[in-house]
Structure 1
Amino acid sequence: MKPYQDYKPSGVAWLGDVPHHWHLERLKFFARFAGGGTPSKGEPSYWGGDIPWISPKDMKRPLIDESEDYITATGQTNSPCTLIPPNSVLIVVRSGILQHTIPVALNTVTVTLNQDMRALIPNDRVESRYLAYQINGCQKELREEWVKQGATVESIEHQRMVDSRMAVPPLAEQQAIADYLDSETARIDELIYEKDELITLLREWRRTVIADFTAGVSHPGEKKPTGNIHLPKIPADWAMVRLGKYARIGNGSTPLKDNIGYWDGGTFPWLNSAVVNQNEVQEGSEYVTEHALQACHLPIVEPKSLLIALTGQGKTRGQVAILRIRATINQHLAYLDLDSEHFNEDYLFWTMTGMYGALRMVSDGQGGTKGALTCDDLSRFEVPKPPLDEQKKIASRLYVEAAKIDDLIAHTKDEITLLKELRAATIADAVLGRVDVRTVKQ
C-alpha cells in the first residue's frame, strides 16, 4: 500500500499530519452519547428479561449480541437505562482496565448499558466501524487525553472525550478503511487463534510427558494394579504410598498486618500461595520479623520441601513448587518436608505436578463444593514411589523434556505478541491515514 499524495498538519499532537482532504472534527459534533444505570436489584420483575444489559465484563469481543445479564422492559423504563440502537460504539468509561486499554465494541442488537459504560452513536456522516477502529488504533493517545488522573478507580472524563478532535475522512473512504480492517484483523486474529490452540496442545503434551514418566508408562517389565483410580497401574518394582508416611506435612498463618512489630524491618521470608506459579521458590513474597516467628508460632520450612496451594481460584489450588530457601508460609500453603532417604524432592515435584488433576478432584470433594485441600488430604494422598536412584533419573529427564516444550511455548507466545503488535499497527496506519487502503491490491 502507498501513502496518500498530500498531507496537512492536523493541529493535534497525537494525530500528526493527516491526508489533505480529511478534516478534523470534535467528537461531539458527529456523535451523540448515551449512558446507562442499574435497575433495582431488589425488584425481581426488572431482571431476567430479553434486553441485553451490557457491563464491562461483557466487553471481551468486538461485536456484542448478548450479555451475562438481561433486564425486562419494565426494568428498562423504571431505570436510567436507555435503549441503545444497533451499530453504536460501546466503550467502558469506568474500570481499572482503563489503566492499560479502552475496551471498545459494536452492538449488533439493541442493548442497554450499566453506569460504567457509554454508547457513542454516530450521525450519518460517520461509519460506526471506522470510529471503533479509530479508538482502538489510538489507545495510548486517547487514554492520555480522556482518562481522569488520580481517581480511585480509573474513569474517562466525559467533557475531555466529547471535546477531543478526531480525523474524519469522507464517508466512502471510512467504509473502505473499515472493510479493509475487517478483513486484515480477521486474518491476524485467525493466526493468533491458531497460535493459542498450539499453546493449548503443547501444554497438554507437557502434562502427558510428565504423567507418563512419573507413572512409569515406558518403564520396562511387568506392571501391577494399584487400586488407585488416579493411577491404576505402576511398574511391579514400584510402590504406591501415602505421602504422610514419608513427609512431615503442615501449613502456616499470616501475622496481623497492622502489627508493625511483625513486619517492619523483617528479614525472614514469608510466602503466600502465589509462589506456586513458579517451579522453584528462591525469595520471599514478604518478610517477617523474628518476633513474628515466635509470637505467631510460624513454622520454619526447610529447603527441598515442597509447597502446595491449599486454596485459590482458577488454577492455583493444587499447584506445587520446590522451596530452595529457608522460609515460613501462610495458611493457604502446605509444606511437605520429605524423608530424603525415600523421596527425591525433584521427582516428587514432577509427580505432584503430573497428578494435578487428582489433587483438584480431592480438593473438590470428588464432585462436591469443598474447593480446598487440607493437610489430612495430602497425608492420605497416594503417589508412586520408585527406587531412589530411579526417582533422580526421572526428575533429571523431565527437566530436560519439559524445558524443550517450555521453549516452544515461549516462542509461540512471542509470535502472538508480534501478531498483536502487527494488528495494532495495521489499525493505526489505516485510521491515521499513514497508508491509503484504497490502493491495496484485491
Structure 2
Amino acid sequence: MSQTKGVVRRSELTDAPQRAESLDAYKVCRKGDIVFNKMKIRSGAMGVAHEDGLVTYHYEVMRPRQGMDPRYIVHLMKSSWFTSELIARERGISAGGEHGGIRTTEVPFTVLRTIDVLLPEIDEQRAIAGYLDRETSRIDTLIEEQQRLIEMLRERRAAVIASTLAKLSDAMTRLKYVSTIQTGVTLSGAGDSADAEWPYLRVANVQVGYVDLGMIKTVRIPSERAVRSMLQRGDVLMTEGGDIDKLGRGALWHGDLPNMLHQNHIFAVRPNESLDSEFLVYWLDGPVARAYFRTTAKQTTNLAATNKWTVGNLPIALPPIEDQRGAVAALDEQTAAIGSLIAETERFIELARERRAALITAAVTGQIDVREAA
C-alpha cells in the first residue's frame, strides 16, 4: 500500500471554479482508493472510494499496489487482529479545546506502515472479500433495522415526556431563579502532595441520564478550594460541551461516593425547595430545553458548547412541587418499559457487531475456508 502524494487542485476533478480558500490540506482520492478517517479508524470508518473526489485532513488515502484487492485490505483493517495492532500504536491528541476537554486518538498513515501483514494470493483475496461483503452486508442490514427501532423508541419516549410536561402549569421562570449553578475545579498538574486527595467527576463520567462511576480519578487541592466544588445528593450534572443532541441533558447525582468533586467542564445545578431535582432532569429532556440548547449552543466543527449564563437562563415551568413529583412518578412508569426495550436492542446490536468483527477476523486470518462457507 502506498499513500497518495502531492496536492491536486479542484480544477483537475471538475470544471467548477476554484474556491477562495486554500486546498493545500486536502487529499485527492481516485476510484478504488482506500480512504479512512484517522481519528475513527478503530470504529471502522473506512471504505473503498467509488469515484474520484477530495477528502479533508481528517482522512488518509491509500492506493493499493498491483495484486491487492482494496476490498480485502479494508476488511483486513477492520479485523480484531489489526485493531489490536492499531491500539498499540495510536497516539493521543486533544479535541474540543476549552469547552470539551476531550482526549481522542488518531492513526495517521505513518503508523499503518509499521504493521506487517501476510497477504494471500489475489484470487484468495477476492474470494475472501466477496464472502465478507455478502455476510457483513446481512449483519449490517440487521443492525440498521435495530437502530431504526431504537430511534422510534426514543421518539416515543420524547413524545411521552412532551405530553406529560405540556399538561402542567404554564407558569414559567428561569433556572437561575430556582437553583444555584456551581462550577467545578480547574485542574492544573498533579497538585501539592501536602493537600488532601479528592475524587472528582470528569466529562467522561457524566452520561445522558446517568453517572458512570467505572473510572474515578483524584486530585490534590486545599480543602477550602475543594468544598466550593463538592457535590451534594440531588445535584443535576450538566456538561459544558459535547455533541449537540446531548448538550444540556442532565444526570442526577445520587451521592454514591462521599466528598465527590466535579471538573470545571461540568456544571452542578442545585435546585432550591421549589424545584424537584428529578423533575429538572425530565425537563432538560423535554422539548423546551432541547430547543433552547440547540439554538443557544456555540457550535464548532465537531462539538457544541454552552456556559453558566446560558444554563441559568433556561426557561423552566414551575408548577407546585406536588405536581412536579406527580409528573416524575408518571414519567418513571411510562418510560421504564421504553428504556428496557432500548437497552435490549442496544445489547442485540452490540452482539451483532461482535459477531461481525469475529467473522472478519476469522476470514482474513484463515480460520474460515470461504470456499466451503460460500
Normalising by structure 2, we get a TM-score of: 0.71
Offset of 1:204 from its aligned partner?
1.3
Note if 1:389 corresponds to 2:322: yes
Contact 1:90 1:106 in 2 (8 A): yes
Q: Distance in 1 between matches of 2:60 and 2:260?
A: 46
TM-aligned CA deviation for residue 360 of structure 1: 0.9
Instruction: Tell me the residue number matched to 1:129.
Output: 71
Structure 1 residue 410 displacement after superposition: 1.4
Deviations 1:397-428 (A, max 9, x none): 32233222121111111211222233334444
Inter-partner Cα distance in structure 1 for 2:368 and 2:44: 24
Counterpart mapping for 1:278-317 below 5 A: 278-281=208-211, 286-288=217-219, 291=222, 293-295=223-225, 298-317=228-247
CA distance in 1, matches of 2:326, 2:119: 64
Question: Counterpart in 2 of 1:251?
Answer: 182
Contact persistence 1:272–1:333 (CA under 8 A): yes
2:280 to 348, 351, 358: 348
1:109 aligns with 2:42: no
In 2, Cα distance between equivalents of 1:364 and 1:146: 35
Return closer, same or farther for 1:391/1:260 CA change in 2, 3 Å cut-off.
Answer: same
- Structure 1: which amino acid aligns with 2:172? V
Question: Does residue 192 of structure 1 match 2:125?
Answer: no
The verdict on how the C-alpha distance between 1:259 and 1:298 changes in structure 2, with shifts beyond 3 A counting, is farther
User: Are positions 1:156 and 2:111 aligned together?
Assistant: yes
**Residues of 1 paired with 2:261 and 2:87: CA distance?**
42
Looking at structure 1, the residues matched to 352 and 212 of structure 2 have their Cα atoms a distance apart, in angstroms, of: 34
Further displaced range: 325-334 or 249-258: 325-334
Shift of 1:263: 9.3
CA gap 1:149/1:264 in 2 versus in 1, 3 angstroms = farther
Q: Deviation string for 1:33-63 (max 9, x for gaps)?
A: 3213574xxxxxx7554649xxxxxxxxxxx
Aligned counterpart in structure 2 of residue 141 of structure 1, from 81, 85, 102? 81
Q: Say if 1:381 and 1:362 are closer, same or farther in 2 by CA, change over 3 A.
A: farther
- 2:172 alignment partner in structure 1: 241
Q: How does 1:48-67 map to 2 (within 5 A)?
A: 48-49=10-11, 51=13
Identity of aligned residues (%): 20
- Could you tell me how far apart the structure 1 residues matched to 2:58 and 2:170 are? 60
Aligned partners of 1:273 and 1:333 also within 8 Å: yes
Corresponding residue for residue 165 of structure 2: 214
Name stretches of at least 5 consecutive residues in structure 2 with no aligned partner: 93-105, 299-303
The one of 166, 180, 204 aligned to 2:119:
166
Whole-Å Cα distance in 1 between the matches of residues 337 and 194 of structure 2?
41
SS of 1:182 mapped into structure 2: helix
Name the larger-Rg structure.
1
Question: Structure 1's 418 and 37: CA in aligned 2 closer, same or farther, altered over 3 A?
Answer: same
TM-score normalised over the length of structure 1: 0.62
Residue 408 of structure 1 is matched in structure 2 by: 341
- Structure 2 letter corresponding to 1:381: P
SS in 1 for 2:252: strand
**1:363 matched to 2:331:** no
Q: How far apart, CA to CA, are the structure 2 residues paired with 1:80 and 1:271?
A: 38
Q: Distance in 2 between matches of 1:183 and 1:71?
A: 40
- For residue 84 of structure 1, report the CA deviation from its aligned partner: 6.1
Q: Secondary structure at the match of 1:298?
A: helix
Deviation string 1:185-218 (CA, Å, 9 cap, x unpaired) is 22221111111111111111111112222222xx
2:277 maps to amino acid: E
Larger CA deviation: 306-315 vs 183-192 = 306-315
Is the 8 Å Cα contact of residues 362 and 377 (structure 1) preserved in structure 2?
Answer: no
3-state SS, counterpart of residue 329 of structure 2: helix
Query: What count of residue pairs does the alignment treat as equivalent?
Result: 344
SS in 1 for 2:120: strand
Partner Cα distance (2:372, 2:112) in 1: 38
SS at match of 2:234: coil
Q: 1:2-17 to 2 correspondence within 5 Å?
A: none
Q: Is the 8 A contact 1:90 1:118 kept in 2?
A: yes
Q: How much has 1:135 moved relative to structure 2?
A: 4.3
Deviations 1:217-269 (A, max 9, x none): xxxxxxxxxxxxxxxxx4xxx351314586232332434513713995423x5
